[in-house]
Structure 1
Amino acid sequence: MKANRRVRAALGLVVAGALPLTGAGAVTAAQAAPSAPATTTTPATPLDVPAADDALALSQQVLEAAEQAASAPAARARTTTGPGVRRELDRAVSTLVDDGAVAVTARVEAPDLTWSGAGGVRELGGHARARTADPFRVASNTKPMIATLVMQEIEKGTWTLDTSVEDVLPGALPRDVTIEQLLSHTSGAPTASEYLILDKMQDPADYDEYFQVLGEHYSDGDHVRAAHTAPWMLEPGTGFSYSNAGFVTLGMMLEKVNKTDLDDLLEERVFEPAGMRSSDYPDSPQKRGTLLHDAAFTGPDGAGWYSIKHFDPSLFRAAGAVTSTTKDLAAFNEALVSGELVGAETVTDMLTPRSAEMIEYGLGTYRLPDPCVPGEYLYGHDGASFGTLSINLTSLDGERQVSLGVTGRNVTLDQEALYDLNDLLIPMFAATC
């Protein structure tokens, strides 16, 4: 049986924290469940980490959707309050579910329209219907929230953007970098997530073991060791290279200077003031409640579907552990750009790009051209866990927003996606015009 669940090639990093797999043997449907911890081993051959543009595949798709929405002849002329727009958005949600998404929850906010829709089921193989108020794993949409906490410390005078990581957490990273470099992904730090996983595995080519160890706990020490083991991507300050390890380091720094757990910092300084009543920073798997659970498809030549209900968020930590709803994500963006979480000058600093090599990335946020207003931008982030995608964007005034969560995704490098996100993203963007 194990022979039918083996990965032919090395695992690699694709999107903001998600590790795709390559194809394997006969098709077999399977659901991963927690089991005894695997013996910790270090792979004999380190994984090859793909180029940074692979890590930004979802960001590039969001940019493409915005461009297509802007080019639609009727985009800026449509009446967003009409029932036709709502029906179009509802149909688009259904299209993604029909094409293979396990669950979809989406929200559009505009001056003359507030729409939310949901489809599918809460977990792979389940029967409970997904609802618009259901939370999901937002993955790298956690990063703007962590960046907000960091910028609050800068406003208080605890740090500056030039503060060295070595001054706060000696030895946490193998090279000395600044807070600004971590926030902007210009530190050259590796993502390192794949090293964390493989360190827990006995057989790096085993599908079952791979999904099993996603339920293991990953300590601060595990993250530090992975950051030191993985190859450094660039010399600090010389270019853009997306890094989960960088934001995990920022989370550790925040906990040290505040002597408070990150979940409490987020609750007190982000969730509560932004009105995010259904958001959480969990430290253990969430198997009960209304969470839309991750589900991974390993391709028609792989081992079929895997439920990842047992996923332990300690693997992502400050780089992507938050769970939230589309309404809460929109509330966060509105609170951020309106100056409710940090001052106006700090907002401008966060939104100002430090790099435009692959995407215009600032400090924990990126921007893309506004499909409705030429010359303006939408701001926010996206995220991808092993079985969930999330997108959250806002206009600068906070009046027009799109937020989206989708569970169930094909995680193989050499297979097409189960569904086309643009089938929903394009009409969502157009509905804000």
Structure 2
Amino acid sequence: MNDMDIGIKMKMLQEETNFSGVYCANKGGCEFSGSFGFANRSGRIKNETKTKFGIASGCKIFTSIAICQLVEQGLLSFQSKLHECLDLEFPLISGEVNIHQLLTHTSGVPDYFDEEEMDDYEELWKDMPVYAIRTLSDFLPLFQDKDMVEQPGGAFYYNNAGYILLGLIVEKVSGLMFTDYVEKNIFKKAGMEASGYFEMDKLPENTAIGYIEESDGSYRTNVFSVPAKGGADGGAFVTAEDMVTFWYALFQYQLLSKEMTEKLLKPQIEVDEDLFYSYGGYVDMEQNKVKKHILMGYDPGVNFRSVYYPEKSISIVVCSNESDGAFEVLKDLERLLI
């Protein structure tokens, strides 16, 4: 199927779903891309293939790669304990929590946003001003003094605070702000020239504003719904093209050695039947073999999905500046390309 055929199919889907965002896919060296909707509704500025989008938790893999880079340098190990890495006070967190557990969501540490208990991320900012959340340390009051939710090394329990802790470890060991570390050691090395961690009140040009649909069909922006600046658990801005570039760089061992890349992507903990979590996101298995790697992200006004099929070297990226729609576009692209 050629780019025109895919474009026609995607246009039909967009008309059915009113999708706002961008897709980009790479198959056999051929790139397919398209854009729909508005990056800025009030200014009637359209989304383009080079528009930057927030990807929420889709960027947890950057945190994992940063940790793996430091392990490769001998500055950490996956068995390093949290209390050995940080000199912060965590009075109720077990001394047995280690980096492996934080990476695989099996640490049992308290989360600041428990996705099994809460379904509205905006609730977090009723008592704490969202504009004040600009560094990783700003998140600490939300979970630092809470009880453990599980014993370390237990079952998979998706945890955003665990990745905040991993980001703080990156800062402590590297001597750099987490966002500076990722931009220097991952984005720059991978050739992700347009990507970065931007402040919501200082977004650069060609960046999509996130929109939340109201019950009456109107829209409002997400400027008061997500942290002023993202970090280790989510919140980077990328272009869809940059994420295709990222997958290529990762599997060409430009970010980690071959051995460490395999360690990053190895299925570690079972989440559901044939679905596992690695250090680098979800892994869909088929007959005991890796079928695809999966990244996903959701915030109010942000929806992101990406997959990589290692045996076929196919990458697909879908970014949306609304709260949903990316999954449906991704599934259609998979049906067309795989």
190-199 or 162-171, which deviates more: 190-199
Alignment of 1:211-360 (within 5 A): 213-283=129-199, 285-300=201-216, 305-309=219-223, 313-314=227-228, 316-358=230-272, 359-360=275-276
**Shift in CA distance, 152/395, structure 1 to aligned 2, threshold 3 Å:** same
**Which residue identity is paired with 2:109?**
A
Partner SS for 1:237 = coil
Q: Give 3-state SS (helix, strand or coil) of 2:46's partner.
A: coil
- Whether 2:36 is the aligned partner of 1:119: answer yes
1:295: Cα distance to partner? 1.3
Per the alignment, residue 46 of structure 2 pairs with 129
Q: Equivalent residue for 1:431? A: 336
Give the conservation status (yes or no) of the 8 Å contact 1:281–1:322.
yes
Structure 1 residue runs without a partner (length 5+): 1-79, 203-209, 410-416
Question: How far apart are 1:199 and its partner, in Å?
Answer: 6.9
State the Cα deviation string for residues 171-219 of structure 1 (Å, max 9, x = none).
45423311111111111123304799767535xxxxxxx9xx4334355
| 1:85 alignment partner in structure 2 | 6
Q: 1:421 aligns with which of 323, 327, 330?
A: 327
- Counterpart CA distance in 2 for 1:321 and 1:187 is 22
1 CA distance for matches of 2:24 and 2:135? Answer: 35
- Deviation at residue 308 of structure 1 after TM alignment: 1.6
- Take 2:229 and 2:299, find their aligned partners in 1: how far apart are those partners? 10
How many Å apart are 1:229 and its aligned residue?
4.3
In 2, distance between residues paired with 1:200 and 1:376? Answer: 39
User: Structure 1 residues 397 and 275, CA, compared in 2 at 3 Å: closer, same or farther?
Assistant: farther
Q: Percent identity?
A: 19
| Structure with max Cα Rg | 1
Q: 1:151-162, aligned counterparts within 5 Å?
A: 151-162=68-79
| 1:105 and 2:11 matched | no
| Partner Cα separation in structure 1 for residue 296 and residue 134 of structure 2 | 23
Tell me, yes or no, if structure 1 residue 175 matches structure 2 residue 109: no
Amino acid at match of 2:23: A
Distance 1:284 1:292 in 2: 11
Quick one: distance in 1 between partners of 2:326 and 2:199?
A: 32
TM-score of the superposition, structure 1-length normalised? 0.69
Q: CA deviation at 1:261?
A: 1.5
Query: Does 349-358 or 241-250 show the bigger shift?
Result: 349-358
1:48-87 mapped onto 2 (5 Å cutoff): 80-81=1-2, 83-87=4-8
Does structure 1 conserve the Cα–Cα contact (< 8 Å) formed by 2:21 and 2:321?
Answer: yes
Structure 1 counterpart of 2:299, which letter?
A: S
Q: Structure 1's 237 and 132: CA in aligned 2 closer, same or farther, altered over 3 A?
A: same
Look up the match of 2:281: 365
Deviations 1:47-85 (A, max 9, x none): xxxxxxxxxxxxxxxxxxxxxxxxxxxxxxxxx236323
CA distance in 2 between partners of 1:111 and 1:199 (Å):
44
- Local SS of the residue matching 1:228: coil
Q: Note the C-alpha offset of 1:379.
A: 1.1
Equivalent residue letter for 2:184: E
SS in 1 for 2:166: helix
1:407 aligns with: 321
Q: Note closer, same or farther for the CA distance 1:304–1:216 as it changes in structure 2 (3 Å cut).
A: farther
In the superposition, relative to structure 1, how do residues 281 and 351 fare at CA in structure 2: closer, same or farther (>3 Å)?
same
CA-to-aligned-CA distance 1:122-153 (integer Å, 9 cap, x gap) = 13444011111100101111110111110000
User: Any idea what SS the aligned residue of 1:86 has?
Assistant: helix
Counterpart of 2:283 in 1: which secondary structure?
Answer: strand
**Amino acid of the structure 2 residue aligned with 1:421:** F
Q: TM-score, normalised by structure 2?
A: 0.87
**1:186 to 2:92 alignment:** no
Cα contact 1:248–1:316 (8 A) shared by 2:
no
**Distance in structure 1 (CA, Å) of the matches to 2:281 and 2:30:** 25
The answer to whether the 8 A contact 1:109-1:402 is kept is: yes
Measured after TM superposition, the shift of residue 284 of structure 1 is 5.1
Q: Could you tell me how far apart the structure 2 residues matched to 1:427 and 1:197 are? A: 30
One-letter code aligned to 1:328: D
Question: Which 4+ runs in 1 deviate beyond 6 A?
Answer: 194-197
* Corresponding residue for residue 76 of structure 1: none
Change (3 A) 1:112 1:200: closer
User: Which residue of structure 2 lines up, in the alignment, with residue 201 of structure 1?
Assistant: 126
Structure 2 residues not aligned, in runs of 5+: none
- Greater relative CO, 1 or 2 (CA 8 Å, sep 6+): 1
1:143 maps to what in 2? 60
* Preserved contact between residue 389 and residue 405 of structure 1 (Cα < 8 Å): yes
> In the superposition, relative to structure 1, how do residues 91 and 394 fare at CA in structure 2: closer, same or farther (>3 Å)?
same
Contact 1:106 1:403 in 2 (8 A): yes
Distance 2:82 2:326 in 1: 40
Q: Is the 8 A contact 2:303 2:326 kept in 1?
A: no
Q: What is the aligned residue count?
A: 328
Tell me whether 1:164 sits opposite 2:81 in the alignment: yes
